[in-house]
Amino acid sequence: MFDGVAKRYDFMNDLLSVGRTRAWRRATTSIIAPKPGMKILDLAAGTGSSSAPLAKAGAEVIASDFSEGMLTQGRARHPELTFVKADALNLPFPDATFDLVTISFGLRNTADLDKALAQGLRVTKPGGRLVVVEFSHPTWRPFRVLYMNYLMKALPAIAARTASNPDAYVYLAESIRSWPDQKALAGRISASGWSSVTWRNLTWGVVAVHSAIKG
């Protein structure tokens, strides 16, 4: 599915989020606080749009993804980045390799989020961090109702007119609707072995950035 939407993936994200993806990326980069000497694994990195600002700040970044189509687009757009094909459920990296593991809008797409969290923990150094960026549940009920209606009605309709694979965006809407809310996801992260789990809401909770530490 992701191979099929790779070419227009970033454009469609900007369109369907009404341009908010860039603000979310800036906020996430600020939370990660990349710096020279920092070794970062960006899981489900897609075309590298989440990895590029981290590398620009001087961090050593590996942009990994399971989709060959995404990797092909990423290598063409960001030749300065290191792309690696990797399964988030069986990472090809030694234990305690990275200072920080991050995943933006990809944990929802894994077949087993608990296993993905455990694999991220394995490859993170003691004292290292996890940063998960994912669609979540708006905190204000009236806005949440409007948002869910947009997801289930307007988003698929827009995608049908503009996307190369509209069914992928029907899946997107359904997967967001069924995803755990902020507190529930924090509980899953803690249960996977991470500690000191916190989150920050963006755009009234449309997106939540969860952070945790490897004890």
Q: What is the pLDDT of residue 47?
A: 93
> In the chain, how many domains are there?
1
> Residue 8 has what pLDDT?
53
Rounded Cα–Cα distance for residues 170 and 71 (Å): 23
Confidence at residue 174, expressed as pLDDT on a 0 to 100 scale: 86
Under the banding of pLDDT at 50, 70 and 90, the label for residue 166 is low
pLDDT tens digit string along 81-92? 999 999 999 999
Domain residue limits at 162: 2-213
Query: pTM to 2 decimals?
Result: 0.90
pLDDT tens figures, 124-155 = 999 999 999 999 999 999 999 888 887 778 77
Residue at 111: amino acid letter = A
Residues 6+ apart with CB under 8 A from 31: 131, 200, 209, 211
Name the amino acid, one letter, at 31: I
Is 193's pLDDT higher than 90? yes
Torsion angle defined by CA atoms of residues 28, 101, 196 and 138, in that order, rounded to the nearest 10 degrees: 40
pLDDT at 169: 66
Average pLDDT of the segment spanning 51-73:
96
CATH of the domain at 108: 3.40.50.150
Q: Torsion angle of alpha carbons 89, 20, 52, 11, nearest 10°?
A: 90
